[in-house]
Amino acid sequence: MKTGRNYFATYLVLVALAVGMMFTRGAASLGLAAIQAACFSLVFLELRHGRQLYRVIFLTGLAFFVLLLSICFIDAVTRETVQPQIPRGTGLR
Amino acid sequence: MTDGDSSEAARIGMWLFLAAEIMLFGGLFVGFALIRMRHEEAFAAARLHLHRSLGFLCSLAMLSGSLSIAMAAERAKRRFLVATLLCGVVFLAALGFDYASVVAPGFRPSQLFFGFYFVMTGLHGLHVLGGIAVVAWLAVRGYGRRIELAGLYWHMLTLLWIFLFPLLYLAA
Amino acid sequence: MAARKRFPNYLNQSRGWRSWLLTTDHKRIAVMYLVAVLTAFLVGGIFAMLIRIEHLTPGQTIMTAEQYNRVFTMHGVVMVFLFVIPAIPVSLGNFVLPLMLGAKDLAFPRLNLAAFYVYLLGALFTITAMVTGGVDTGWTFYTPYSTTTHGSVGLMTMGLFILGISSVITAINFMVTIHQMRAPGMGWFEMPLFCWGIYATSVIQVLATPVLGITLVLLLMERVFQMGIFDSRLGGDPILFQHFFWFYAHPVVYVMILPGMAIISEIIPTFSRKTIFGYKAIAYSTLAIAGIGFLVWGHHMFVAGQSELATVIFSLLTFLVAIPSGVKVFNWLATMYRGSISFEAPMLYAIVFILLFGIGGLAGLFLGALSVDVHLHDTYFVVAHFHFVMMGGTVMAFLGGLHYWWPKMTGRMYSEKAARVACALIFVGFNMTFLTQFVLGSRGMPRRYYTYLNQFQPLHAFSTFGSWVLGLGLFVVLAYLLASLRKPMDAPGNPWGGTTLEWTTQSPPLSENFVEPPVAERLPYDYRPAETSA
C-alpha cells in the first residue's frame, strides 16, 4: 500500500543518488541515472503495484525508443564516415 | 459509465500520452547520442561551460516536485500543490540562470552541443511550464482524482530530467 | 405520396450552427471531419491533375520547373497528411467505432472536438504555407535541401506538427474507448475486426507521430539557427534526418492501410453472408503489421548512404512484413469462398481493393530486394507502387466504407446503378493511370523530374488520359452521393444484413446511439441460422 513514508524514503534515496552523480562522469553517471530511473518508476509511477496495462504501455514506449536508438546506432557505427571538422564555437580551435 | 470507469479511462489516456512523450524526447536523445559520438572532444569541452550545480538544483527541484505532488494525491492538502508549484518555479529559475550564463559569453543554438542543450532543456522546460499551469489551475479550482493524472505527467518530466542531467551536464 | 418521415436522429435532434460547431457527438464530429478530408482530397486531386497535365509533353507544358517542384510537393503533403492518414479513422472510425462497441460515444468526447479544431489549425498553417511561396522539397523534406531552400518550409513544418498533435489525440481517444467501453459480453476477441484495425492504427500513431514531431522541430532549428545536426559542413549527419523521418513515415503507411483493411474485413463477410475466415489470424496479423512496420524504415534509404549492414537488415525485415498482409488477403478470399456473394458497391470496392492492393504489395517486394531497388529507387515504379497501395488500397476501401455506412450515416440509399458505373470508371481510370507508371519506372523514368526523354511521352500521355477517367469517376461518386441527400430519409436500419451492433440502430442513429445500452449477445459475422446460434 502506498504511504507518504514510502514516497519520502524513495525520495531520499533518489537525492542521494543525484549527489553521488555529481562526483562521477560518463558511463558511471548514466548508470546511476538508470538506477534512479528504475527506483523512481517503480515507486512514483507505481509500476510495481499498479495495473499490468500501465507497465505494458510504459515498457512499450521504452522498447520503441530503444529500437530507434539501436538501429540508428548500428548504421552510424558501421558506416564509413569522413572525420568531420571540429564544429565552431566550442572554444576549441 | 460510472465515475470509477471514467477516471480509469483518463488514467489509461494519460499513460498513452506519456508513451508518446517518451518517443518525442527519445528522438532528441538519439540525435544527441549519435552526434556526440562524432564529436566527443568538442562536446566535452562545450559541456564545461554549463554549471553542474545549477543542473543539480534542477534535479532537486523536479524530484521534490514529484514528492510533493505524490503527497498531494495521498493527503489532499492544498499546501502540497503549492509546494509543487514552487518546485517548478525553482526549476525554471535555475534553468534560466544557466541559460543566461551560457548565452552571455556568446554560445548560441547554432553551435552543435548548445543547439541540443537549448532544444532538449527548452522543450522540457516548456513541458514543465505546462505542468505548472495545470497544477496552479488545480490548486485554485479544487481537485479530486485529477491530481493523480497531473502527478503522472510531472513524474514523466522528472524521469526525463533524470537522464537529461547526466547526459548534458556530466557524461564524459 | 408518403409523408417525409421526421423521426428524431443525431442530425435533427438539435439545431443551429452552435450545436454543430460545439458538438461533442462523435457522429457530428465525424461528418464535419468527412467534409474536411474530402475537401483535402479534392485539393490534392487538383494538384495531381496539374502534375499529369504537365507531363503530357516533355519540357514545359503548363508550368515552369520551379512551379512543378512546388506542385508535386503540395500534392504529396496534402494527400498524405491532410487526407490519407486521417481520412478513415476520423470520419468512418469516429462515426462507427462507438456504435460497433455498443457505446454512447468515445471515451473523451470533448477531446474529440478539440482534435478536430487542431486538425483545422494544422490545415490552415499548411495551406498558408502553400499560398505564401510554397514548398519545393518533396513531401519528405530531405536535408540539406529543406534546410537551405527558400519557401515556406517553416510554416509547413509547423502545420504538420500541429496535425500530428491532432492525430495523437484521436488515437489515444480510440484506444481508451476500445479498452474501456465495449458492451457487456464483448471481449477483445468478440469485437468486430474494424475495431482491431482502428486499435492497431492508433498504437502506431501514438508511438510514431512524436518522432515526426521532434524531427520537424529539429528541422526548424536547423533552418532558423543553423544548428548543424543535419549539416555535414557543421559536423552533423543528413542521413540522420532520413532515419528520423522514415522511423515515422514508414509506420505511417500502415496507419494508412490498416483502417482500409479493417473496412474490408467488415464488408466481405456481410456481402458473402458468411462468417469471416480466421478471425484471430486477422486480428493477430493486424498487430503484426503494426509491429513489424516499425522495423523496416531503412528500406527507403537503401541508396541514401546508410551502412551495408543496416541495408541488409532492413531488406530482410521488409520481406517479413508482407506475410501478415498476405494472411489477411487469403482469409478474405477464404471468407468469400462458398459464400452467398452479392455485388453492391461496397463489395465491388472491396474486391477492387484486394486486387489493387495485392498488385501494389507485390511491387513492394520488388523494391525490397536490394539489387533490384538500386535500379528502381526514385523511379516511377515507386510512384506506381505507393499509388497502388494508397489509392488502390486505402482510397478504394474508404469509398467502400463510405458506401457501406452511407445509409447509416445519412438515412438515405445512394443510387446503386450510378455507383456501379462510377466504380467501373474509377477502376479503369486508375489502372490506365498507374499500371502504366510501373512500365515507365522500370524503363527508367525518374520521379520528381520536370522533364523527360521523348521516348517516355506516349506512356505519360496515356497515364494522363487515365487520370481524367479516374477523376471523372470520382466526380460521379460525389454527384450521386450528394444527390442522395435530397431524397427522403427512408433507409432501413440494416440494409445490408450486417451482424455488428451499428446495424441494430435506426438509420441515422439517435444522438445517444442506443435507446438502451446493448448487450453483445452474438458474435459478429455470425450468419448461422437463428436457431443454431449460441
Mean pLDDT of C266-270: 97
Q: What is the secondary structure of C422-467 as a DSSP string?
A: HHHHHHHHHHHHHHHHHHHHHTTPBTT-S---GGGHHHHHHHHHHH
Query: Of A1, A12, A22, A54, which to mutate for an interface test with B (greatest number of B Cβ within 10 Å)?
Result: A22
B103 touching chain A per CB within 8 A:
no
The domain at C17-524 falls in which architecture?
Up-down Bundle (1.20)
**Record: contact C179-A53, CB cut-off 8 A:** yes
The mean pLDDT of chain A is 84
B-chain residues near A90 (CB < 8 A): 42-43, 45-46, 111-113
Within 8 A by CB and 6+ apart from C506, the residues are C7, C9, C493
B110 touching chain C per CB within 8 A:
yes
| pLDDT tier at B143, thresholds 50, 70, 90 | confident
A-chain residues near C306 (CB < 8 A): 75, 79
| pLDDT tier at A93, thresholds 50, 70, 90 | very low
H runs (alpha helix) in C226-278: 238-272
Dihedral angle sign, alpha carbons of residues C278, C284, C290, C294: negative
Identity of the residue in B1, B16, B112 whose CB atom sits nearest the CB atom of C229: B112
3-state secondary structure C137-193: CCCCCCCCHHHHCCCCHHHHHHHHHHHHHHHHHHHHHHHHHHHHCCCCCCCHHHCCH
C-alpha cell at C188: 477483445
pLDDT digits (tens, 9 = 90+) for C492-512: 999 999 999 999 999 899 999
B39 touching chain A per CB within 8 A:
yes
> For B19-35, b where at least 16 C-beta lie within 10 A, e where not — what string?
bbbbbbbbbbbbbbebb
How far are the Cα atoms of C352, C468, C533 from residue C464, in angstroms, in the given order?
A: 21, 7, 53
Q: What is the secondary structure of C25-74 as a DSSP string?
A: -HHHHHHHHHHHHHHHHHHHHHHHHHHHHHTTSSS-SSS-HHHHHHHHHH
**What is the C-alpha to C-alpha distance for residues C451 and C435, in angstroms, rounded to an integer?**
20
C-chain residues near A78 (CB < 8 A): 307-310
Quick check: B1 pLDDT over 50? no
CB–CB of C38/C82 below 8 Å? no
**Record: contact B26-C211, CB cut-off 8 A:** yes
Selection from C394, C362, C149, C347 nearest residue C253 by Cα: C394
C-alpha cell at C222: 536547423
Mean pLDDT of C257-277: 96
Mean pLDDT of C222-243: 89
Q: Sort C205 into a burial class: Cβ within 10 Å, 0-12 / 13-18 / 19+.
A: buried
Q: What is the secondary structure of A16-63 as a DSSP string?
A: HHHHHHTT--HHHHHHHHHHHHHHHHHHTS-TTTS-HHHHHHHHHHHH
Strand partners of residue C258: none
**What is the C-alpha to C-alpha distance for residues B133 and C438, in angstroms, rounded to an integer?**
55
| pLDDT tier at C5, thresholds 50, 70, 90 | low
Parse chain C into domains and list their residue ranges: 17-524
Q: What is the secondary structure of C378-411 as a DSSP string?
A: TBHHHHHHHHHHIIIIIIHHHHHHHHHHHHHHHS
Identity of the residue in C207, C243, C295 whose CB atom sits nearest the CB atom of A75: C243
CB–CB of C252/C164 below 8 Å? no
Quick check: B3 pLDDT over 50? no
Dihedral angle sign, alpha carbons of residues C428, C429, C434, C436: positive
Residue of A nearest to B52 (CA): A22
Q: What is the secondary structure of C93-107 as a DSSP string?
A: IHHHHHHHHT-SS-S
CB–CB of B88/B125 below 8 Å? no
pLDDT digits (tens, 9 = 90+) for B62-110: 999 999 999 998 887 888 999 999 999 999 999 999 999 888 877 776 6
| pLDDT tier at C334, thresholds 50, 70, 90 | very high
H runs (alpha helix) in C297-379: 308-336, 345-368, 370-376
Q: Is C355 helix (H, G, I), strand (E, B) or coil?
A: helix
C-chain residues near A67 (CB < 8 A): 294-295
Cα Rg, chain C, nearest whole Å:
23
Quick check: C386 pLDDT over 70? yes
**What is the C-alpha to C-alpha distance for residues C512 and B98, in angstroms, rounded to an integer?**
54
pLDDT digits (tens, 9 = 90+) for C291-303: 999 999 999 999 9
B23 touching chain C per CB within 8 A:
yes
Mean pLDDT of C431-439: 97
**What is the C-alpha to C-alpha distance for residues C521 and B160, in angstroms, rounded to an integer?**
46
Residue where the block lists cell 500521355: C461
Q: Sort B104 into a burial class: Cβ within 10 Å, 0-12 / 13-18 / 19+.
A: exposed
Q: Describe the crossing of helices C109-131 and C153-180 by its angle, rounded to 10 degrees.
A: 160
Please, what are the domains in chain B? Answer: 3-170 (1.20.120.80)
Claim: this prediction has a pTM higher than 0.80? yes
Q: Give residue A89's pLDDT.
A: 63
Dihedral angle sign, alpha carbons of residues A42, A45, A50, A53: negative
C-alpha cell at C520: 453483445
Q: Give residue C28's pLDDT.
A: 97
Q: Sort C379 into a burial class: Cβ within 10 Å, 0-12 / 13-18 / 19+.
A: buried
Quick check: C1 pLDDT over 60? no
One-letter amino acid of B35: I
C-chain residues near B5 (CB < 8 A): 180
| pLDDT tier at A33, thresholds 50, 70, 90 | very high
Q: Give residue A90's pLDDT.
A: 60
Q: Give residue C528's pLDDT.
A: 80
Q: Give residue C172's pLDDT.
A: 98
| pLDDT tier at A2, thresholds 50, 70, 90 | low
Q: Give residue A3's pLDDT.
A: 63
pLDDT digits (tens, 9 = 90+) for C166-195: 999 999 999 999 999 999 999 999 999 999
Within 8 A by CB and 6+ apart from C110, the residues are C24
